[in-house]
Amino acid sequence: MKFANFAMQHARGILFTLGVLVVLGLACVGSLPMSIYPKVAFARVVVVAQNGEMTPSQVQQNITRPIEQVVSTVIGAQLVQANSAQGSGQVSVTFDPKIDVNLDLQRVNAALSQMSASLPPGTDLIAQIVNPNIFPVLGYVVTIPGKTLTETRNISEYQLRPMLTGLSGIAQANSRRPHQGVLGFG
């Protein structure tokens, strides 16, 4: 009852205060950043190594582990995680977020260039900054029974990707692993 009595006695003051808050809110809306997804930055560099049809254990022993050992010595590296799959390996390096991630990428590339000769022939190395704005939102693995990985890759790259690129709602279609039939959509 006390609040109702207070509100009735001070109705003009409450309405004036409410009006001022609405006007200030409308004025502030114009200066707020608007986007569907917030801009997120990670201090992380991912190294993707690909080498044809090597088994996961061969990739781990001959590619992923040596890369993991080299990038763990890069200045500022705080956490190194690795994953090996059929024909490819991925090493994720997390750095101190206070240091420029572009500098971290340069250091990783320098370390990789020194050790790339010791990797098996035909190994492709790509180091890139983890940016959630460019990584795929959705990914598919394409497998075709009776086709080799190279044939599957060619079909996904030269037949499926061009068909999907022009569809509404797909910003881009990329082959994320050139030696396998993997499509990522962003």
Dump the DSSP string for 2-34: HHHHHHHHTHHHHHHHHHHHHHHHHHHHTTS--
pLDDT confidence band for 71 (50 / 70 / 90): very high
pLDDT digits (tens, 9 = 90+) for 129-177: 887 665 556 667 777 888 887 888 788 888 888 887 777 777 667 665 5
Scan for tokens 């409410």, then name that residue: 18
Scan for tokens 């890369």, then name that residue: 67
Contacts of 132 (CB under 8 A, 6+ apart): 37, 40, 42
- Higher-confidence residue: 52 or 186? 52
pLDDT confidence band for 81 (50 / 70 / 90): very high
Lowest average pLDDT, out of 80-89, 98-107, 109-118, 163-172, goes to 163-172
What pTM was estimated for this model as a whole?
0.56
- Across 10-26, average pLDDT: 92
